[in-house]
Structure 1
Amino acid sequence: MLEKNIEMYFNKQIKKMGGLSRKFTSPGQRGVPDRIAILNGQVYFVELKRPGQKPRPDQLAEHRTLAKHGVKVYVLDSKYAVDVWLENLKGATF
């Protein structure tokens, strides 16, 4: 399965739940997560990958930078991972 298929699925599922999914680009800054998802008043940074694929070194460096500022990046590598992540969000309390 291609990453773009997982990304399209992610977008569809977020929209179905009433949320927003925006492509994240930051000119001049490599390795930023693919998507910013907004759901139930919360903001999430999400990196989407093909099954079994891991983030590149520049992406991991950016994830660490965001973590230093209290922000988690979720890495999802399948439709199943998207479904599990979204199901976990449904049960979360903020």
Structure 2
Amino acid sequence: MAYERESLIEKHLVAEVKKAGGVAFKFVSPGRRSVPDRIVLLPGGRLVFVECKAPGKPPRADQLREHERLRTLGFTVVVLDSKNLEGILFSPNC
């Protein structure tokens, strides 16, 4: 597999979410680092936080803590390091 940059994975996510009838907002929280890159809103009221990473690159410890905080609140958080969107677009749990 050819190396893919994080930005290409993120662009693919945005395009595919749009095709599915949703939106993928860029998530920036001033004063709070480590929030996921995108808030994905999908038809049917589904919401998924998405952290985009280069292939094989794991989230930092502070990002993992933020992911756990969001999961504790009942949200779905997905770390995306490929163009496979199965856990985002095709998961009934989202």
* TM-score normalised by structure 1 residue count: 0.86
Cα separation, 2, equivalents of 1:39 and 1:5: 21
Q: How many residues align?
A: 90
1:25 aligns with 2:17: no
- 1:87–1:66 Cα change, 3 Å: closer
Q: Which structure has greater helix proportion?
A: 1
Partner of 2:46: 42
**Which consecutive residues of structure 1, in runs of 5 or more, have no partner in the other structure?**
none
Partner of 1:5: 8
* TM-score normalised by structure 2 residue count: 0.86
Residue pairs, 1:1-94, within 5 angstroms: 1-40=4-43, 41-79=45-83, 81-82=84-85, 84-86=86-88, 88-89=90-91, 92=92
Listed one character per residue, the Cα deviations across residues 28-86 of structure 1 (whole Å, up to 9, x for unaligned) are 1110000000001211101111111110111001011112211221111001x22x234
Superposition RMSD on alpha carbons, in Å? 1.7
